[in-house]
Structure formats: C-alpha cells, structure tokens
Amino acid sequence: MSHNEGAQSRVEIIIHGMTCSSCVHHIESSLKKKRGVLNVSVALATGKGIVAYDSELTGPRDIIDHIQDMGFGAELASGHKHGEALDHSEEIKRWRRSFFISLIFGLPVMVIMIYHMVEMKMHGKRPVKLLLPGLSIENLLYFILCTPVQIFGGRYFYIQAYKALRHRGANMDVLIMLATTIAYVYSVAVLIIAMVLKLSKSPKTFFETPPMLLVFVSLGRWLEHIAKGKTSEALAKLLSLQPIEATLCVIDPETGNVSSEKSINVDLVQRGDVLKVVPGGKMPVDARVIRGESMADESLITGESMPVPKHVGDIVIAGSINQNGALILEATHVGDETTLSQIVKLVEEAQTSKAPIQKLADSIAAYFVPVIVLLSIVTLNIWIIIGYSDIRAISPSFDPSSTSKTEIILEFAFLTAITVLCIACPCALGLATPTAVMVGTGVGAQNGILIKGGEPLETTHKITTVIFDKTGTLTKGTPSVTKVAMFVDEEVCPMNFFLAVVGTAEANSEHPLAHAIINDAKEKLGKTTFGTCDKFVSIPGFGLSGVVYDIDQQFTRAEVSKSTSSVRDDESIWKRRSLIKESSDGRYSVKIGNREWMLKHEHEVSEEINIRMQEHEEKGETVVLVCID
C-alpha cells in the first residue's frame, strides 16, 4: 500500500521472519542507509514496516528487494493482504511442533538429571557404571535424547540465526543457538576424547542444557504467537464487517431511474458511484442517501443498539446494516477513506507505534547480543586464569591424584560461559514490550476503546479521572424491559394474555425494542410462541400494528402464573374500568409505539398516562405504549 505526497511517498510492507528487536534494528538501520529512504518504522509485534522515501530516487520494489536480500520475507501490504498479515496460524503450528519435539525428548533428560541430583544428595557420590571406557549410561542417554532436540527442536532457531549472521547481524536466535550448539559440541567432543583415550570415568557433559533451554524458549515463542493471534482477531473482526461486494447502479439521465445493476468488488467502488443496498444488507462504503428511507444499525461504530433513521441527504457508514428499506446511495468515501478503514488503520498504527520504553528496549537489544557473546568469552578466560592461579577457588576439595586439573578448570569455565549465554536472552527487552503494546491496543479495540499508540498506553498509569461512554461500557448496550404498567383491570386483560399478545405482534419486527419485549415475554411465559399475527405494518420511528389471533388458551385465563407474577408492581399497575371487550372471533387489533403512533390511530393519550411517561423519560428510559382492541 503506497501513498504519495509530492516527491515524498510512503509504503507499507509486510515483513516475515523477524524474531526479536535486533531484527527490527537491523532492518531499520540498513534501510536508512539506502539512497532515497527518508524514514523507517518497523514493528515486530505486527510484522509490518512503514517506509517514507523519495519517489524520484527509489520505490517500493527496490525497498522490498533490499529487505529480501537481508534474508527476510517482504511483500507490499494491500487490502486483501491485511487478513493474511493478521494470521499467525503458521507460526503457531511451527513453534508448537518445535515445543513438543523439545518436550518429548527434553522431559526424560530433566527426569534423569533430577534423579541423579537427588541420589547424590541422599547417598553421596558413587562410582558411575561404564558401558565402554569413557562412556557412562547417563551420558549415553543424554546424547540419545539431546541430539533430536538439537537437530529438530532447534531447526527454526538455526534458520533464523543463519539469516541473521548471513547479513552480519546478531539476534536472539544467534544467542540461543550459540549457547545450545557450544554445549552440545563441547559435550560430544569431551565424550569422544574420553572414549578414544579409554578413560576410567566418563567426563562431565552439558547435554542437559540444549533440551531445557529449547523447551522453554520454544514454549515462549508459541505463547507469544498465540497472544498475537488472539489480539489480531480484533482487527480481523473489524475488517470482516465491510462487505466484499457492492451493487452498482446505472441511472438513466432522462428518467432519473435505475436502468441497470451489477455486482462489483467493493475495492472497485469510486467516489460518486451510485449504489443500491437492500434490506438486511451492509453499507459497502461511506455514502449519502439520495433515494429511499430506512433504519441503519450503526452499533459497530457508535455502540448504540438503537437503529438510526436514514432519509435523503443523510450519511451512512460503511459496515452498518440496512434494516428495512431499500436505499440508493452516492459514494462519498471509498477504500481507505471510509470510517471503518480509518478505525482499522488507527488501531494498526497504534500497534505499530513505539512507546518510549520500547524505543529504549530496541536500542539496548541492538547491541545486546554482541555484548553478551563478548562477556561470555571474557568469563571463560577469567575462570581459566583463576583456575590455573588457584584451583581451590574452583574446587575446594580438589585431589590431584584422582582428578585432572585441566579437566576441572575447563569444565567449570565452560559451565560459567555457557550460563552467561543461556540466561542472557533479551526476551523481556525485545519481545515483552512490543507484545504488551499490541495486546493492550488490540484488546482495547475489541472492547471499543481506541488507544492511539504505545506512548498513550504507557502514560495510562498517570490517569486520575476517567470519563466513560455509557452505552455498552457501563451498561449492557442492549435494551431490556424494566417494568410493565397496565391501565385496565387484570380480570379483563390478564397479564399473561397481555404479554402473549404483545409478544406475538413484536415477533414480526426486527427493532431492538421488539427483541427486548419478545425476550421478556418468553422468559415470563416460559414459551417461545404464543399466537399468530397478520396485517403487520411497521413504520420506523413510530411503531407497529397488526391483528393477533390463535392465542394459546392458557394465556386467556385471569390467573397470573408464577412466571409472570414477577413483572407485576402494585405501584405501577393502575386498575381502571374495562377498555377491552371480549372478541367474539378471538382476533385482536394491536398498536405498539409512541404517542404520535397512537394519535395517528385515533387513540388519545390521557394526561395521567402522559405524566407517568414523562417521569420515566426524564430518567432516560424509553416508554412504549400498547393498545389492544
């Protein structure tokens, strides 16, 4: 995806194969040296890079080729690639396989090691049985179990380390493979030497180091990609809200009517195109209504469950759902300009942006690996010098008659050097910080909270006042029935009968208030169907009407069942003289809606009812009137 601003352009690139902050620093520093590149920002967590460049000197193809020459995979980010970039399934499978291979062979190594440690503590050091001169059963088992882990469990570490070294870089994989390879090669070497020399005892080896290290590091990589995958689902869900296709209309200039229609990919929609959206369809782009009326569900953007009426001249949002009327639209914002795309872009940029602590971590991690390797070499040499100067500093109980001085010194020096390599993994610096930013912004987006980058996220601990958006945050975000008030004697209109009639009428509506009333009736009456409704009419913004019949006989009795008694409120039920007469054919005319709807059907709302309605409306509650004839 490329953007132009005069000679300066910006390109977004998906980068594969990055494992730590050293990779990020290596790519950024190398690209900045390239002629024509003005600025580079690479995010490990999202696997993306944004490069600003002078279009007269270089271009996206040269930039991608440069990244690929460094040993990383690179491709241009485009609309259809977003979902693929967010998919971590391959990485999850890869590291899960590496973890289980390491675990299957590494677990017995740990068990053997712990067994010998416990046995030595309980019974002291005993002579080790040898299968061959210089080869003990313990070392043979270690070798058999360690070799598959080193080859198969560490395969992906070797690949990444090779790519880094090939381009004169050193990342965390280099550190891991140095530690495990040195431990493995040293152990094999001393074992072969002992067997060739036919020593009377088997030497001390470090075969347990590679399995243990690879088990925990591969587990960390697996969990890391699982976390990334779950977090990226927030963006994937946002992307899935926009339809793939749109219905393009051709308008006859003479009559002004639609002369033809055809389905096109939503990416091909241009500003000014005339589009048609049928009831139940999604708005393909941000557009202006030029014909028709309907209600639109914009809850994906606003969080409000109540549909918004749309008339000629109103703006509709891409991804919102057209509920009941066909609309003819004129596209106003397409592609990356739509509100939905801007939200996705905002979250992506937030996950790509670096918090101050992350910039510090990246700068440290860039020099971390070379420094650690140097420290490991220094440690090795220092202990060799100390050992030859004073062997008692290494082994207070050293007995020259039974043990070789050189063997003791080298064994201890290698142990300390390998320990430095093993424990100096920069995961906390290079992985934890960007992953925390990604998880934080992703989970926020999933819950309707847009965090504009790592820096705002880092400063949240300084917040003293929080202002909440009520709907969907402090509340459920969906309406529910809180009270039922009747203005007739319950002997004439039993509560269960009233709920059955209203539930039957509302069952034909898609309005959120209708769903709330239906769910309440089902819960109170313990049934999913109550009767039949025909002649159904619904006017958005006013109400509905219909004729209800075939009401189940169990709902026509005057008694109120236990399931419905909970909705009665003695203070909210006013008993009046009968307003409903027994229907001879069991058919009832029902009107449900607001004041205007009742007046339209010549049902006057009394002053008393109006006062009670105002009391509830002042509390922010929606009052629905029901009239049954």
Residues belonging to the active site: 469
- Lateral strand order in the sheet of 245-251: 258-265, 245-251, 274-277, 327-333, 286-291, 315-316
User: Which positions ≥6 away from 577 have C-beta within 8 Å?
Assistant: 488, 489
Exposed / middle / buried, residue 5 (Cβ in 10 Å: 0-12, 13-18, 19+):
exposed
* Encoded amino acid at 103, one letter: L
Distance CA 275, CA 330 (A): 6
Nearest partner of 295 among 309, 315, 284, 282, judged by Cα: 309
Q: How many residues does the chain have?
A: 629
Residue whose token pair is 């000014």 = 272
Q: How far is CA 339 from CA 100, 300, 319, in A?
A: 44, 11, 9
Residues 627, 600: contact at Cβ < 8 Å? no
Distance CA 352, CA 340 (A): 18
* Encoded amino acid at 188, one letter: V
Query: Phi and psi of 322, rounded to 5°?
Result: -80, 125
For 98-162, the DSSP string reads: HHHHHHHHHHHHHHHHHHHHHHHHHH---PPPEEETTEEHHHHHHHHHHHHIIIIITHHHHHHHH
* Encoded amino acid at 104, one letter: I
Pairing of strands 294-297, 321-322: antiparallel
Query: Token pair for residue 453?
Result: 């980058």
What is the Cβ-side half-sphere exposure of residue 534, based on CA atoms within 13 angstroms? 3
- 501 by DSSP, 3-state: which? helix
Alpha-carbon torsion 427, 430, 433, 438, what sign?
negative
